[in-house]
Amino acid sequence: MTKADQTVESAADKLEEFVREAQRSGGVKAKVGDALADDPEFLRKLKPSLIAARAKGGAPTDGPSGTSATPRSAPSGPQLTRPKPKKSSGGLSPWVVIGAALACGFVLAKVLDWRGHAHPRV
């Protein structure tokens, strides 16, 4: 076992002890302990020697039976289909509505300005 493996194992032991203490204390700590309960086991799988062995293809398998014995492969086709576009319900284009509002506003401003000259304030 290398020094890096020993360091990972030590960290996993400390985390496991923290989880046990947290679960014993109750309250919020117990909830945190429950959330971290699986992490020491996962941390032990991250030993550098195990990672190197997995990279070379000779990794020890400590997962559930049947899952690591069969090689994983990518699906043969796409798993999701594209959604079909919704049919347009008709109606006006938003650009037409914006243009009409702009034109109406311009005309209204001109009319009000023109009527303002008919009755000047003295």
Taking a C-beta distance cutoff of 8 angstroms, is the pair 76, 30 a contact? no
Q: Is there a contact between 12 and 38 (Cβ–Cβ < 8 Å)?
A: no
Gap between the Cα atoms of 53 and 107, Å rounded: 79
Q: Cα–Cα distance between 114 and 107 in angstroms, integer?
A: 11
Could you tell me the pTM of the whole model?
0.46
Which single residue is written with the structure tokens 């300005």? 113
Q: Where are the domains of the chain?
A: 3-56
Encode pLDDT of 85-119 as tens digits. Answer: 777 677 888 999 999 999 999 999 998 887 777 66
